[in-house]
């Protein structure tokens, strides 16, 4: 083995790794001791709290050590060697800490611990059981991390630990700013799911199913906001850095985030019902648990190997012990929840408060609206969860694997989309007592009119070739029942549903602005969500895509643009290399700069890496993707004597074969004679193949004008046929151009959705501050019967 | 049990059954080469290993041709219309979505490529969706494409 460049690691780099390993182990012990103390001395809050915070801090310490090892290039650690390298910028070295399996588990542990610590102070009566449940889960994670350790050293060489001169680095596709942003945010969201679950378990353990809902609500909002934001950022990453011009493709890894998100959204809607009407206690316990449990399941699915070929994401084989601990974690969480839930269900009459018995006047009431939203959100989550489980189901039943295509998700989920969006538009105007249809219509008619107007405006916009690339009126869309409908009206209808939700929530927000500003956070979230969906629907529904070629000698013409390759020296070894394409047309001129560079694989092959150039404008995005150049204009084509074939503007006629020398011997030469004709030129060329001294073939291409050459690949001595490839004299570059109208709404919508979530969480947190009554209660007392100050919130708020 | 709750449970079970049935029957079936040759349609998923030496990229035709060997060791020639996916040379495995044609080739309209095992969000190219490019192979003068 060549040990050039290998060095002895500094002693501190070894004992710091030991500290990291030890931190995780100690954290697990701290959590277990905290649990034991909770049972041994249930009234002693401070030691239990201190142990919990101590254990959580140790996860943070481990992560800090992990980052230090990556940043300082301690490649004698397996994880650092596999995911970091010298040439990475500092931000990417830090991000490498969560790019790998072990790092992502540690990130999950840190974020879960962080949120549990933050929420602890607000749990009041539930703190003890909240701590027990959280400690249990975090102890399980410590167990996983003991086997999937980010602090494993490389194997010793001749009995010595040596530091390689460099690491393998990040996969090129990950070296962009999104790796720094997206994982921390989405894992903060995943970590926050523990809070809802632990709180629900604590509520059941204390038999107080009522007092937790108001304080947990801001955490549910934060969780939904963070997971949603993380999800959307993942979509932006795909859009900006990958080459399929989209945000989402229902990959199982994406679905693992989507299911908890919609389930968390369902829970926070359930919180409103329980807070206002004192109903839905058992439903909310389940809704609080589903996000966490579904994420545990999704984690198992994506890392267990069952997905096989059905996901574009690749996963390292998880350590078997760690995988079993993961299974045990999820199973324990599920079974203990279910067991306790069933027990409490049987005791419902004795532990539930009296519901608000005021029966709504009509069916169009807020309670029914929220309940419908919950069911539809659960439907979205269930469908997605089943879809991503198909490979597992097939595998467990011994059948051949299957893959659920994107279109199938759309077919099934599409059924719930219209009622869901209509509900989002109408329910904010309902009251707890209910409205008649006429009264409700009276409240929304302005929003309805505005939405129809805006939908019409959208239709005019997407059909105006001066503003955008006009849609293809002939396109159809397949429907679930087997037929097809014209795409344009269908997409406009879906877009209208989103617009209606926006206008309706804007009007409602305006009506509440003077009296309850902070209560409009939820409405702002609806506006953002619907706007983002509108952007997705329109940009995808009216998307156009063209594949063409750009050549230094020939500009391409697409979507009203002339695209000229700017011929200058490019450094294809530079990670930041971009190719300049002059785009002229549609009243503007600019330089598109799609990225293209090459890395060298371990086997010496040149591997292309690329990223798109995106031109954003208010009305549309243009995505330009440039693929590696190649000289092959055609594939291999076999000509019989006197056969004519055409390629674009070139006509070739094969006249026959000339031979020299002895067949099979060095120096034997074969010349395929072709007549060619182009609009500007005509003549005869010869493509030659000669047997060299070493028995290898030597090719001399026939030159055709200034742009093409003809390569003789092989001949058939019996028939005199010739197999040739027409080639460009210089590399031609395949281009994919996407045209996506109104994508700006996706970005804007996500920003508004996040802002709304923040405002709403703040508003609910302020109103959920512990009352003096809660602080004064001694530990371990039974929950008090309901008093007047526990009256539900004013119904005017959303 | 209240009627409403009972109806809710029955409806939920019905939806669950319908959705599961739809996904399990309508999802794309993975096939071997032998199965692909005996089946019609262009919604088959053929998984296997790419023969790197067989990769033939034709920029002018907007096609990529290669040989795919399934898990039973049977090979088939695959032609994909679109730019060559960037990780075609490094992919461990490929899943070609399409169907067999009379010319004996598996015509893929989508390619999914799986990189070597590593946990990272590595999304290889999923090119070819809704392509509007009309490839122009060398045609016999005045006749149909080859």
pLDDT digits (tens, 9 = 90+) for A456-483: 999 999 888 877 777 778 888 888 777 8
Complex ipTM over 0.85: no
Lowest mean pLDDT among A300-314, A317-331, A515-529: A300-314
Q: Is there a contact between A535 and A744 (Cβ–Cβ < 8 Å)? A: yes
Residue in A99, A390, A412 closest to B120 by CB: A99
The DSSP string of A293-358 is: HHHHHHHHHHHSSTTGGG-S-B-PPPPHHHHHHHHHHHHHHHHHHHHHHHHHHHTHHHHSPPP---
Q: Which is more confident, B92 or A64?
A: A64
- The angle formed by the CA atoms of residues A712, B77 and B62, to the nearest 5 degrees, is 60
Size of interface A-B (CB pairs under 8 A): 219
Number of other CB atoms surrounding residue A83 within 10 Å: 31
Closest by CA position to A736, among listed B133, B96, B60, B58? B133
Number of other CB atoms surrounding residue A355 within 10 Å: 12
Q: How far is CA A573 from CA A576, A599, A746, in A?
A: 9, 7, 34
In terms of CA atoms, which chain B residue is nearest residue A630?
B59
Task: Please write down the HEC assignment for all residues of A146-179.
Answer: HHCCCCCECCCECCECCECCCCCCCCHHHCCCHH
Number of other CB atoms surrounding residue A730 within 10 Å: 16
Q: What is the dihedral of CA B119, A383, A264, A785, to 10 degrees?
A: -140
Looking at residue A781, its pLDDT comes to 33
pLDDT tens digit sequence for A635-686 = 888 999 999 999 878 899 999 999 988 888 888 999 999 999 988 889 999 9
Number of other CB atoms surrounding residue A766 within 10 Å: 10
Closest by CA position to A289, among listed A203, A195, A197? A197
B42 touches chain A (CB under 8 A): no
* Contact criterion met (CB < 8 Å) for B137 and A635: yes
Closest by CA position to A583, among listed A604, A600, A558? A558
Could you tell me the two tokens for A624? 């330009």
User: How far is A766 from chain B, CA to nearest CA, in Å?
Assistant: 35
* Contact criterion met (CB < 8 Å) for A312 and B59: no
Look at residue A591 and tell me whether its pLDDT is greater than 50.
yes
* Contact criterion met (CB < 8 Å) for A635 and B87: no
Q: Which is more confident, A328 or B89?
A: A328
Could you tell me the two tokens for A603? 């086997």
* Contact criterion met (CB < 8 Å) for A313 and B24: no
Burial of A159 (C-beta count, 10 Å sphere; 0-12/13-18/19+): exposed
Q: Which residues of B39-59 are buried (b: 16+ CB within 10 A; e: fewer)?
A: eeeebbbbbbbbeeeeebbbb
Q: Is there a contact between A765 and A223 (Cβ–Cβ < 8 Å)? A: no
B24 touches chain A (CB under 8 A): yes
Which residues make beta-bridge pairs with B56? Answer: B65
A591, containing H or E segment = strand A588-592
Q: Is A683 left (phi over 0), alpha (psi -120 to 50) or beta?
A: left
Could you tell me the two tokens for B113? 């490529």
A525 vs A531: CA distance, rounded Å? 10
Residues in chain B: 146
B111 vs A343: CA distance, rounded Å? 51
Residue in B26, B84, B136 closest to A648 by CB: B136
- pLDDT range class, residue A282, cuts 50, 70, 90: very high
* Contact criterion met (CB < 8 Å) for B26 and A543: no
Looking at residue B44, its pLDDT comes to 87
Contacts of B114 in chain A (CB under 8 A): 309, 312, 314
Number of other CB atoms surrounding residue A569 within 10 Å: 4
What percent of chain A lies above the pLDDT cut of 70?
Answer: 94
Sign of CA dihedral A217, A220, A224, A230: positive
Could you tell me the two tokens for A261? 């998100």
Going along chain B, which residue ranges are E strands?
Answer: 28-31, 44-58, 63-69, 75-81, 93-100, 106-114, 139-140
Tell which B residues from 119 to 138 touch A, by Cβ distance under 8 Å.
119-127, 129-133, 136-138
Candidates A474, A633, A635, A677: best to mutate against B (most CBs of B within 10 A) is A635
Closest by CA position to A472, among listed A741, A198, A720, A119? A741
Task: Please write down the HEC assignment for all residues of A222-234.
Answer: HHHHHHHHHHHHH
A608 touches chain B (CB under 8 A): yes
Looking at residue A315, its pLDDT comes to 56
Candidates B49, B84, B118: best to mutate against A (most CBs of A within 10 A) is B118
B80 vs B112: CA distance, rounded Å? 11
Residue in A309, A411, A629 closest to B114 by CB: A309
A13 DSSP assignment: H
Sign of CA dihedral A660, A663, A664, A670: positive
Whole-structure pTM value: 0.87
Sign of CA dihedral A463, A465, A469, A475: positive
Tell which B residues from 49 to 88 touch A, by Cβ distance under 8 Å.
52, 56-63, 65, 82-84, 86-87
A544 vs A474: CA distance, rounded Å? 13
The residue behind tokens 């617009």 is: A499
Q: What is the dihedral of CA B126, B132, B135, B141, to 10 degrees?
A: 160
- pLDDT range class, residue B144, cuts 50, 70, 90: very low
Lowest mean pLDDT among A44-48, A493-497, A662-666, A770-774: A770-774
A718 DSSP assignment: T
Residues 6+ apart with CB under 8 A from A304: A318, A323
Q: How many CA atoms lie within 13 A of A230 on its CB side?
A: 27
A378 vs A259: CA distance, rounded Å? 9
A495 vs A499: CA distance, rounded Å? 6
Highest-scoring range by mean pLDDT, A285-289, A356-360, B4-8: A285-289
A334 vs A290: CA distance, rounded Å? 9
* Contact criterion met (CB < 8 Å) for A404 and B124: no
Q: How many CA atoms lie within 13 A of B131 on its CB side?
A: 19
Q: How far is CA B10 from the centre of its chain?
A: 37
Reduced to 3 states, what is the DSSP secondary structure of residue A596? Answer: strand
In terms of CA atoms, which chain A residue is nearest residue B52?
A605
* Contact criterion met (CB < 8 Å) for A412 and B113: no
Q: Which residues of A216-248 are buried (b: 16+ CB within 10 A; e: fewer)?
A: bbbbbbbbbbbbbbbbbbbbbbbbbbbbbbbbb
A287 vs A263: CA distance, rounded Å? 7
Residues in chain A: 798
Look at residue A356 and tell me whether its pLDDT is greater than 80.
no
Range B39-64 average pLDDT = 88
Look at residue A185 and tell me whether its pLDDT is greater than 60.
yes
What are the phi and psi torsion angles at A182 (to 5°)?
-65, -55
């Amino acid at each position: 083995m060549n040990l050039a460049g290998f060095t002895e690691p500094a002693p501190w780099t070894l004992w710091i790794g030991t500290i990291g390993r030890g931190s995780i182990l100690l954290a697990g012990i701290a959590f277990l001791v905290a649990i034991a103390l909770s049972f041994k001395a249930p009234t002693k809050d401070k030691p239990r709290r201190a142990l919990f915070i101590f254990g959580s801090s140790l996860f943070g310490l481990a992560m800090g050590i992990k980052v230090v090892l990556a940043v300082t290039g301690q490649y004698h650690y397996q994880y650092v060697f596999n995911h970091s390298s010298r040439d990475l910028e500092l931000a990417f070295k830090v991000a490498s800490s969560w790019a790998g399996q072990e790092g992502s588990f540690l990130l999950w542990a840190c974020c879960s611990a962080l949120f549990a610590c933050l929420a602890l102070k607000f749990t009041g009566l539930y703190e003890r059981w909240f701590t027990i449940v959280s400690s249990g889960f975090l102890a399980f994670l410590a167990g996983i991390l003991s086997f999937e350790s980010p602090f494993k050293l490389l194997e010793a060489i001749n009995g010595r630990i040596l530091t390689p001169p460099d690491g393998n680095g990040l996969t090129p596709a990950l070296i962009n700013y999104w790796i720094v942003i997206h994982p921390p945010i989405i894992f903060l969201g995943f970590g926050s799911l523990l809070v809802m679950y632990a709180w629900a378990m604590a509520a059941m353990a204390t038999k107080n199913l009522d007092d937790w809902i108001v304080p947990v609500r801001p955490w549910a909002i934060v969780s939904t906001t963070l997971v949603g934001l993380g999800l959307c950022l993942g979509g932006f990453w795909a859009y900006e850095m990958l080459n399929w011009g989209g945000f989402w493709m229902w990959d199982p890894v994406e679905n693992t985030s989507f299911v908890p998100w919609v389930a968390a959204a369902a829970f926070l809607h359930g919180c409103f019902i329980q807070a206002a009407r004192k109903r839905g206690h058992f439903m909310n316990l389940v809704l609080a648990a589903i996000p966490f449990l579904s994420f545990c399941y999704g984690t198992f699915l994506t890392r267990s190997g069952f997905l096989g070929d059905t996901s574009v994401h690749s996963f390292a084989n998880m350590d078997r012990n760690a995988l079993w601990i993961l299974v045990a974690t999820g199973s324990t969480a599920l079974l203990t929840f279910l067991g306790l839930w069933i027990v409490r269900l049987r005791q419902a009459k004795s532990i539930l408060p009296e519901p608000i018995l005021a029966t709504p006047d009509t069916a169009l009431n807020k309670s029914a609206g929220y309940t419908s939203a919950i069911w539809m959100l659960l439907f979205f989550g269930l469908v997605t969860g089943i879809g991503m489980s198909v490979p597992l189901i097939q595998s467990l039943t011994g059948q051949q694997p299957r893959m659920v295509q994107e279109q199938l998700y759309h077919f099934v989920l599409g059924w719930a989309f219209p009622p869901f969006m209509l509900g989002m538009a109408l329910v904010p105007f309902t009251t707890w007592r209910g409205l008649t249809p006429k009264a409700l219509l009276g409240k929304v008619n302005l929003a309805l009119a505005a939405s129809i107007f805006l939908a019409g405006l959208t239709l005019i916009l997407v059909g105006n070739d001066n503003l955008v690339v006009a849609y293809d009126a002939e396109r159809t869309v397949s429907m679930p029942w087997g037929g097809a409908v014209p795409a344009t009206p269908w997409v406009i209808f879906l877009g209208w549903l989103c617009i209606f939700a926006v206008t309706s929530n804007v009007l409602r927000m305006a009506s509440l602005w003077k009296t309850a500003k902070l209560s409009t956070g939820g409405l702002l979230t609806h506006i953002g969500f619907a706007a983002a969906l509108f952007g997705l629907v329109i940009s995808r529904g009216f998307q156009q895509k063209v594949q063409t070629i750009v050549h230094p000698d020939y500009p391409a013409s697409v979507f009203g643009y002339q695209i000229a390759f700017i011929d200058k020296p490019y450094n294809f070894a530079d990670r930041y290399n971009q190719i300049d394409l002059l785009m002229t047309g549609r009243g503007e001129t600019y330089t598109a700069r799609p990225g293209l560079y090459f890395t060298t694989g371990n086997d010496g092959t040149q591997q292309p890496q690329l990223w798109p150039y995106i031109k954003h404008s208010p009305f549309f995005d243009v995505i330009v993707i440039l693929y590696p150049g190649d000289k092959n204009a055609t594939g291999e084509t076999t000509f019989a004597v006197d056969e004519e074939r055409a390629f674009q503007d070139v006509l070739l006629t094969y006249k026959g074969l000339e031979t020299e020398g002895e067949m099979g011997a060095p120096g034997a030469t074969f010349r395929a004679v072709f007549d060619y004709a182009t609009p500007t030129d005509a003549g005869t060329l010869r493509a030659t193949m000669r047997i060299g001294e070493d028995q290898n073939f030597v090719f001399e291409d026939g030159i055709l004008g200034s742009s093409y050459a003809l390569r003789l690949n092989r001949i058939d001595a019996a028939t005199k046929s010739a197999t040739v490839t027409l080639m460009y004299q210089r590399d031609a570059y395949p281009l994919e151009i996407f045209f996506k109208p109104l994508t700006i709404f996706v970005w804007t919508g996500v920003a508004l959705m996040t802002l709304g979530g923040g405002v709403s969480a703040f508003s609910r947190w302020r109103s959920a501050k512990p009352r003096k009554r809660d602080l004064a209660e001694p530990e371990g007392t039974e929950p008090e019967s309901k008093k007047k100050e526990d009256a539900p919130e004013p119904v005017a708020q959303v | 049990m209240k009627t409403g709750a009972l109806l809710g449970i029955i409806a939920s079970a019905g939806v669950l059954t319908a959705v599961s049935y739809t996904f399990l029957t309508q999802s794309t079936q993975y096939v071997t080469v032998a199965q692909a040759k005996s089946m019609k349609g262009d919604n088959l998923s053929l998984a296997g290993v790419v023969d790197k030496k067989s990769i033939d990229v034709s920029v002018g035709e907007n096609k990529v041709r290669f040989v795919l060997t399934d898990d039973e060791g049977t090979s088939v020639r695959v032609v994909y219309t679109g730019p060559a996916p960037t990780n075609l040379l490094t992919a461990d495995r490929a899943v070609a979505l399409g169907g067999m044609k009379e010319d004996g080739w598996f015509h893929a309209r989508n390619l999914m490529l799986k990189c070597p095992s590593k946990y990272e969000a590595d999304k290889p190219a999923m090119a070819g969706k809704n392509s509007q490019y009309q490839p122009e192979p060398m045609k016999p003068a005045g006749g149909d494409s080859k």
